[in-house]
Protein backbone atom coordinates (compact mmCIF):
# COMPACT_ATOMS: atom_id res chain seq x y z
CA UNK A 1 0.00 0.00 0.00
CA UNK A 2 1.20 3.53 -0.67
CA UNK A 3 -0.07 6.95 0.35
CA UNK A 4 -0.84 9.43 -2.41
CA UNK A 5 0.31 12.84 -1.20
CA UNK A 6 0.09 16.24 -2.84
CA UNK A 7 3.56 17.80 -2.65
CA UNK A 8 3.75 21.58 -3.02
CA UNK A 9 7.46 22.52 -2.87
CA UNK A 10 6.75 26.27 -2.98
CA UNK A 11 9.53 28.76 -3.68
CA UNK A 12 12.58 30.31 -1.99
CA UNK A 13 14.03 27.58 0.24
CA UNK A 14 10.83 25.53 -0.21
CA UNK A 15 12.09 23.10 -2.89
CA UNK A 16 15.24 22.34 -0.85
CA UNK A 17 13.48 21.69 2.45
CA UNK A 18 10.66 19.65 0.89
CA UNK A 19 13.22 17.45 -0.94
CA UNK A 20 14.86 16.86 2.45
CA UNK A 21 11.53 15.95 4.06
CA UNK A 22 10.67 13.54 1.24
CA UNK A 23 14.04 11.81 1.68
CA UNK A 24 13.48 11.36 5.44
CA UNK A 25 9.84 10.26 5.03
CA UNK A 26 10.88 7.64 2.48
CA UNK A 27 13.62 6.40 4.83
CA UNK A 28 10.84 5.16 7.16
CA UNK A 29 10.08 2.43 4.59
CA UNK A 30 6.53 3.69 4.09
CA UNK A 31 5.57 3.98 0.41
CA UNK A 32 4.46 7.35 -0.91
CA UNK A 33 3.23 8.43 -4.30
CA UNK A 34 4.01 12.14 -4.57
CA UNK A 35 1.85 14.33 -6.78
CA UNK A 36 4.17 17.34 -7.15
CA UNK A 37 2.62 20.66 -8.16
CA UNK A 38 4.24 24.08 -8.52
CA UNK A 39 2.83 26.94 -6.49
CA UNK A 40 4.30 30.39 -5.84
CA UNK A 41 6.82 32.03 -8.15
CA UNK A 42 7.42 29.04 -10.42
CA UNK A 43 3.66 28.59 -10.88
CA UNK A 44 3.31 32.20 -12.01
CA UNK A 45 5.78 31.52 -14.80
CA UNK A 46 4.05 28.25 -15.79
CA UNK A 47 0.37 28.95 -15.13
CA UNK A 48 0.11 32.74 -14.75
CA UNK A 49 -1.09 32.36 -11.16
CA UNK A 50 0.71 31.47 -7.92
CA UNK A 51 -2.07 29.07 -6.93
CA UNK A 52 -3.22 27.05 -9.96
CA UNK A 53 -6.50 25.15 -9.71
CA UNK A 54 -4.65 21.85 -10.21
CA UNK A 55 -3.06 22.32 -6.78
CA UNK A 56 -6.46 22.71 -5.12
CA UNK A 57 -7.92 19.80 -7.14
CA UNK A 58 -5.01 17.55 -6.17
CA UNK A 59 -5.41 18.39 -2.47
CA UNK A 60 -9.17 17.81 -2.62
CA UNK A 61 -8.57 14.45 -4.29
CA UNK A 62 -5.70 13.19 -2.10
CA UNK A 63 -6.99 14.85 1.09
CA UNK A 64 -3.46 15.24 2.38
CA UNK A 65 -0.50 17.37 1.40
CA UNK A 66 2.99 18.47 2.34
CA UNK A 67 3.93 22.04 1.47
CA UNK A 68 7.05 24.18 1.41
CA UNK A 69 6.92 27.90 2.14
CA UNK A 70 5.79 30.42 -0.47
CA UNK A 71 6.85 34.06 -0.85
CA UNK A 72 4.21 36.74 -0.40
CA UNK A 73 5.43 40.09 -1.71
CA UNK A 74 4.59 42.89 0.74
CA UNK A 75 1.82 45.38 -0.10
CA UNK A 76 0.61 44.98 -3.68
CA UNK A 77 1.39 41.96 -5.90
CA UNK A 78 -0.30 38.57 -5.67
CA UNK A 79 -2.29 37.85 -2.57
CA UNK A 80 -0.97 35.32 -0.12
CA UNK A 81 -1.07 31.77 -1.46
CA UNK A 82 -1.05 30.53 2.13
CA UNK A 83 -4.10 32.52 3.18
CA UNK A 84 -5.88 31.54 -0.06
CA UNK A 85 -5.14 27.82 0.47
CA UNK A 86 -6.49 27.90 4.01
CA UNK A 87 -9.62 29.78 2.96
CA UNK A 88 -10.38 27.86 -0.24
CA UNK A 89 -9.92 24.44 1.36
CA UNK A 90 -11.39 25.54 4.70
CA UNK A 91 -8.23 24.49 6.56
CA UNK A 92 -9.52 26.15 9.67
CA UNK A 93 -7.20 24.79 12.35
CA UNK A 94 -3.58 25.78 12.10
CA UNK A 95 -1.86 23.54 14.65
CA UNK A 96 1.70 24.45 15.54
CA UNK A 97 3.51 22.43 18.21
CA UNK A 98 6.64 23.98 19.75
CA UNK A 99 8.81 21.32 21.38
CA UNK A 100 12.35 22.06 22.43
CA UNK A 101 14.94 19.66 21.17
CA UNK A 102 17.86 19.16 23.54
CA UNK A 103 20.57 21.73 23.05
CA UNK A 104 23.09 23.51 25.18
CA UNK A 105 22.77 27.23 25.06
CA UNK A 106 19.01 27.29 24.36
CA UNK A 107 17.20 29.58 26.76
CA UNK A 108 14.52 26.96 27.49
CA UNK A 109 15.16 23.22 27.52
CA UNK A 110 11.69 21.80 28.03
CA UNK A 111 9.23 23.75 25.95
CA UNK A 112 6.17 21.73 24.98
CA UNK A 113 3.43 24.04 23.73
CA UNK A 114 0.82 23.84 20.98
CA UNK A 115 -0.74 26.84 19.27
CA UNK A 116 -4.16 26.17 17.75
CA UNK A 117 -4.92 29.12 15.50
CA UNK A 118 -8.14 29.85 13.65
CA UNK A 119 -6.96 30.24 10.05
CA UNK A 120 -9.88 31.30 7.88
CA UNK A 121 -11.20 34.59 9.26
CA UNK A 122 -10.23 37.40 11.66
CA UNK A 123 -7.85 40.07 10.41
CA UNK A 124 -6.75 37.77 7.56
CA UNK A 125 -10.23 37.69 6.00
CA UNK A 126 -8.92 39.82 3.16
CA UNK A 127 -11.61 42.52 3.52
CA UNK A 128 -9.72 45.76 3.22
CA UNK A 129 -10.48 49.23 1.89
CA UNK A 130 -9.23 52.79 1.73
CA UNK A 131 -11.12 55.43 3.68
CA UNK A 132 -10.98 57.85 0.73
CA UNK A 133 -9.59 58.31 -2.77
CA UNK A 134 -6.43 59.92 -1.43
CA UNK A 135 -5.70 56.75 0.55
CA UNK A 136 -5.26 58.83 3.66
CA UNK A 137 -6.50 55.92 5.78
CA UNK A 138 -6.97 52.18 5.48
CA UNK A 139 -9.37 49.66 7.03
CA UNK A 140 -8.73 45.94 7.55
CA UNK A 141 -11.83 44.20 8.85
CA UNK A 142 -11.51 41.75 11.72
CA UNK A 143 -14.34 39.36 10.90
CA UNK A 144 -15.13 36.95 13.72
CA UNK A 145 -18.12 34.61 13.59
CA UNK A 146 -19.71 32.52 16.31
CA UNK A 147 -19.64 29.35 14.21
CA UNK A 148 -15.93 29.61 13.42
CA UNK A 149 -15.08 30.42 17.04
CA UNK A 150 -17.04 27.37 18.14
CA UNK A 151 -15.31 25.19 15.58
CA UNK A 152 -11.76 26.21 16.51
CA UNK A 153 -12.31 26.19 20.27
CA UNK A 154 -13.92 22.76 20.08
CA UNK A 155 -11.02 21.56 17.93
CA UNK A 156 -8.55 22.73 20.61
CA UNK A 157 -10.39 20.93 23.43
CA UNK A 158 -10.81 17.76 21.37
CA UNK A 159 -7.11 17.92 20.47
CA UNK A 160 -6.19 18.36 24.15
CA UNK A 161 -8.32 15.35 25.11
CA UNK A 162 -7.01 13.15 22.28
CA UNK A 163 -3.35 14.06 22.84
CA UNK A 164 -3.70 13.90 26.65
CA UNK A 165 -2.58 17.49 27.12
CA UNK A 166 -2.67 19.28 30.48
CA UNK A 167 -4.73 22.38 29.83
CA UNK A 168 -6.21 24.80 27.26
CA UNK A 169 -5.74 28.57 27.35
CA UNK A 170 -8.00 30.85 25.28
CA UNK A 171 -6.23 34.01 24.08
CA UNK A 172 -7.99 37.19 22.93
CA UNK A 173 -8.19 40.95 23.42
CA UNK A 174 -11.78 41.18 24.57
CA UNK A 175 -11.12 44.14 26.86
CA UNK A 176 -10.43 46.44 23.88
CA UNK A 177 -12.08 44.68 20.94
CA UNK A 178 -15.45 44.35 22.64
CA UNK A 179 -17.21 42.83 19.62
CA UNK A 180 -14.68 40.59 17.85
CA UNK A 181 -12.66 39.75 20.96
CA UNK A 182 -15.80 39.62 23.11
CA UNK A 183 -17.46 37.08 20.83
CA UNK A 184 -14.41 34.80 20.87
CA UNK A 185 -14.27 35.07 24.67
CA UNK A 186 -17.97 34.31 25.09
CA UNK A 187 -17.80 31.23 22.86
CA UNK A 188 -14.56 30.06 24.49
CA UNK A 189 -16.20 30.18 27.92
CA UNK A 190 -19.31 28.31 26.73
CA UNK A 191 -17.30 25.51 25.19
CA UNK A 192 -14.74 25.26 28.00
CA UNK A 193 -17.66 24.47 30.35
CA UNK A 194 -18.47 21.41 28.22
CA UNK A 195 -14.97 19.96 28.80
CA UNK A 196 -14.89 19.57 32.56
CA UNK A 197 -12.06 17.00 32.29
CA UNK A 198 -9.67 19.56 30.79
CA UNK A 199 -8.48 22.49 32.93
CA UNK A 200 -8.79 25.80 31.09
CA UNK A 201 -8.05 29.47 31.55
CA UNK A 202 -7.86 32.70 29.51
CA UNK A 203 -5.28 35.38 28.85
CA UNK A 204 -5.24 38.71 27.07
CA UNK A 205 -2.80 38.44 24.17
CA UNK A 206 -0.32 41.03 25.45
CA UNK A 207 -0.13 39.33 28.84
CA UNK A 208 0.16 35.96 27.07
CA UNK A 209 3.35 37.11 25.31
CA UNK A 210 4.92 38.15 28.59
CA UNK A 211 3.80 34.98 30.39
CA UNK A 212 5.17 32.74 27.64
CA UNK A 213 8.59 34.32 27.90
CA UNK A 214 8.59 34.33 31.70
CA UNK A 215 7.00 31.00 32.60
CA UNK A 216 6.17 28.94 29.52
CA UNK A 217 5.90 25.75 31.60
CA UNK A 218 2.54 26.96 32.95
CA UNK A 219 0.93 26.73 29.50
CA UNK A 220 0.10 23.87 27.20
CA UNK A 221 -2.48 24.20 24.38
CA UNK A 222 -3.26 27.79 23.36
CA UNK A 223 -6.29 28.53 21.17
CA UNK A 224 -6.74 31.90 19.52
CA UNK A 225 -7.77 33.91 16.48
CA UNK A 226 -5.83 34.24 13.23
CA UNK A 227 -3.38 37.13 13.69
CA UNK A 228 -2.71 36.42 17.38
CA UNK A 229 -2.02 32.78 16.53
CA UNK A 230 0.36 33.77 13.75
CA UNK A 231 2.37 35.96 16.11
CA UNK A 232 2.24 33.62 19.10
CA UNK A 233 3.41 30.65 17.04
CA UNK A 234 6.53 32.53 15.96
CA UNK A 235 7.09 33.42 19.61
CA UNK A 236 6.74 29.80 20.76
CA UNK A 237 8.93 28.66 17.84
CA UNK A 238 11.60 31.02 19.15
CA UNK A 239 11.24 29.65 22.67
CA UNK A 240 11.70 26.12 21.37
CA UNK A 241 14.87 26.80 19.41
CA UNK A 242 13.99 28.83 16.35
CA UNK A 243 11.97 28.90 13.14
CA UNK A 244 14.20 26.27 11.59
CA UNK A 245 12.61 23.63 13.80
CA UNK A 246 8.94 24.65 13.99
CA UNK A 247 6.45 22.46 12.07
CA UNK A 248 2.75 22.93 11.50
CA UNK A 249 -0.44 21.46 10.13
CA UNK A 250 -3.43 23.15 8.50
CA UNK A 251 -6.37 20.92 9.27
CA UNK A 252 -9.85 20.98 7.77
CA UNK A 253 -12.77 18.54 7.73
CA UNK A 254 -11.79 17.23 4.29
CA UNK A 255 -8.13 18.09 3.73
CA UNK A 256 -4.98 18.37 5.88
CA UNK A 257 -1.91 20.25 4.64
CA UNK A 258 1.37 20.19 6.57
CA UNK A 259 3.99 22.92 6.34
CA UNK A 260 6.66 24.61 8.46
CA UNK A 261 5.97 27.81 10.38
CA UNK A 262 8.85 29.57 8.62
CA UNK A 263 8.64 31.42 5.32
CA UNK A 264 10.57 31.14 2.07
CA UNK A 265 13.72 32.85 3.51
CA UNK A 266 14.54 34.22 0.01
CA UNK A 267 18.02 35.38 0.99
CA UNK A 268 19.03 31.73 1.58
CA UNK A 269 17.28 30.22 -1.46
CA UNK A 270 19.36 27.76 -3.47
CA UNK A 271 22.26 27.77 -0.99
CA UNK A 272 21.68 24.35 0.60
CA UNK A 273 21.97 26.15 3.90
CA UNK A 274 18.80 26.44 5.99
CA UNK A 275 17.59 23.99 8.60
CA UNK A 276 15.39 21.26 7.06
CA UNK A 277 13.98 20.13 10.43
CA UNK A 278 10.81 22.28 10.38
CA UNK A 279 9.77 20.70 7.07
CA UNK A 280 10.89 17.22 8.19
CA UNK A 281 8.84 17.54 11.40
CA UNK A 282 5.88 18.77 9.33
CA UNK A 283 6.23 15.39 7.61
CA UNK A 284 6.31 13.76 11.04
CA UNK A 285 3.01 15.49 11.90
CA UNK A 286 1.64 14.25 8.58
CA UNK A 287 2.58 10.66 9.48
CA UNK A 288 0.79 10.99 12.83
CA UNK A 289 -2.27 12.30 10.99
CA UNK A 290 -2.12 9.22 8.74
CA UNK A 291 -1.98 7.02 11.84
CA UNK A 292 1.67 6.01 11.18
CA UNK A 293 2.73 6.61 14.78
CA UNK A 294 5.75 4.27 14.82
CA UNK A 295 7.29 5.88 11.72
CA UNK A 296 6.60 9.36 13.14
CA UNK A 297 8.36 8.36 16.35
CA UNK A 298 11.43 7.23 14.39
CA UNK A 299 11.67 10.61 12.68
CA UNK A 300 11.30 12.49 15.97
CA UNK A 301 14.00 10.34 17.59
CA UNK A 302 16.39 10.73 14.66
CA UNK A 303 15.92 14.52 14.63
CA UNK A 304 16.53 14.70 18.39
CA UNK A 305 19.66 12.55 18.10
CA UNK A 306 21.17 14.57 15.26
CA UNK A 307 20.52 17.85 17.05
CA UNK A 308 21.82 16.53 20.37
CA UNK A 309 24.98 15.08 18.81
CA UNK A 310 25.60 18.36 16.95
CA UNK A 311 27.93 16.76 14.46
CA UNK A 312 25.86 17.45 11.37
CA UNK A 313 23.70 20.53 11.96
CA UNK A 314 22.90 23.59 9.86
CA UNK A 315 24.22 27.09 10.55
CA UNK A 316 21.37 28.17 12.85
CA UNK A 317 22.20 25.32 15.29
CA UNK A 318 25.92 26.05 15.10
CA UNK A 319 25.56 29.67 16.17
CA UNK A 320 27.23 30.64 19.46
CA UNK A 321 23.85 31.37 21.11
CA UNK A 322 22.66 27.83 20.46
CA UNK A 323 25.64 25.80 21.45
CA UNK A 324 28.32 26.16 24.09
CA UNK A 325 30.70 24.10 21.94
CA UNK A 326 32.10 25.41 18.64
CA UNK A 327 30.37 23.52 15.80
CA UNK A 328 31.17 23.65 12.11
CA UNK A 329 27.90 24.21 10.23
CA UNK A 330 26.82 21.53 7.77
CA UNK A 331 24.70 21.89 4.67
CA UNK A 332 20.93 21.39 4.61
CA UNK A 333 21.33 18.23 2.50
CA UNK A 334 24.02 16.82 4.82
CA UNK A 335 21.80 17.24 7.87
CA UNK A 336 18.84 15.70 6.03
CA UNK A 337 20.99 12.74 4.91
CA UNK A 338 22.12 12.17 8.48
CA UNK A 339 18.53 12.19 9.77
CA UNK A 340 17.43 9.87 6.94
CA UNK A 341 20.34 7.50 7.67
CA UNK A 342 19.33 7.22 11.33
CA UNK A 343 15.66 6.72 10.44
CA UNK A 344 16.50 3.90 8.01
CA UNK A 345 18.65 2.16 10.66
CA UNK A 346 15.96 2.25 13.40
Tell me the catalytic residues: 124, 173, 206, 230
275 interacts with ligand NAD by CB under 6 A: yes
283 interacts with ligand NAD by CB under 6 A: no
Which CB sits closer to ligand NAD, 25 or 335?
335
CA distance 133 to 117: 35
69 interacts with ligand NAD by CB under 6 A: yes
- Which position among 18, 28, 58, 71 is part of the footprint of ligand NAD (CB under 6 A)? 71
- The residues in 233-252 that bind ligand NAD, with binding defined as CB under 6 A, are 243-244
Alpha-carbon distances of 313 from 110, 152, 307, 317, 337, rounded to whole Å: 20, 36, 7, 6, 11
264 interacts with ligand NAD by CB under 6 A: yes
- Which position among 82, 106, 142, 185 is part of the footprint of ligand NAD (CB under 6 A)? 82
The stretch near ligand NAD (CB under 6 A) out of 25-33, 68-76, 141-149, 321-329 is 68-76
CA distance 336 to 295: 16
- Which position among 116, 278, 307, 343 is part of the footprint of ligand NAD (CB under 6 A)? 278
85 interacts with ligand NAD by CB under 6 A: no
- The residues in 190-209 that bind ligand NAD, with binding defined as CB under 6 A, are none
263 interacts with ligand NAD by CB under 6 A: yes
Judged by the rule CB under 6 A, the positions of this chain that interact with ligand NAD are 69-72, 82, 243-244, 259, 262-267, 274-275, 278, 316
Amino acid sequence: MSYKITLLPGDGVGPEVTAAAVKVLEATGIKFEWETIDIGESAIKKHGTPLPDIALESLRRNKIGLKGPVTTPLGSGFRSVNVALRQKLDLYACVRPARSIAGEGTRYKDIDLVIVREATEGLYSGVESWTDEQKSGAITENIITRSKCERIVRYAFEYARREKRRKVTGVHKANIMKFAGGLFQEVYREIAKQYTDIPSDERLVDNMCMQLVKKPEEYDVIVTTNLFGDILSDLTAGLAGGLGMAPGGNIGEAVALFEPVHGSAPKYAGQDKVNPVAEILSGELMLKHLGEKAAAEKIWKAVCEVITEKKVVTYDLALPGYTARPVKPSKLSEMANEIARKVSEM
